[in-house]
Amino acid sequence: MSIKGNGECWRCAYKLRQTDYAYESKCAGCRTATRVCRNCRFFSNSAPNKCNEPKAKLITNKQRANRCEYFEAL
């Protein structure tokens, strides 16, 4: 797992730091979970299962916090 940080919240574009991607963390801008597929660099609406990482397990709710071992922050 690699969390690079310094990305943006998928929902409100609030600037996130590396420490903002813990499993139980919430975005300070909109209180949405941050450790979610929608904030991962592998997320893609056009990819199978909406994920470009072929080894990742299927996660059906892309907006819910998860512990995917391939998560990489945007």
pLDDT tens for 16-71 read: 998 999 999 999 999 999 999 999 999 999 998 999 999 999 999 999 999 999 99
Per domain, the residue ranges of the chain are 1-74
Dist. CA 57–CA 30, nearest whole Å: 27
pLDDT in tens, 24-34: 999 999 999 99
Q: What pLDDT is recorded for position 2?
A: 52
Angle, CA of 21, 53 and 59, to the nearest 5° = 65
**What pLDDT is recorded for position 6?**
73
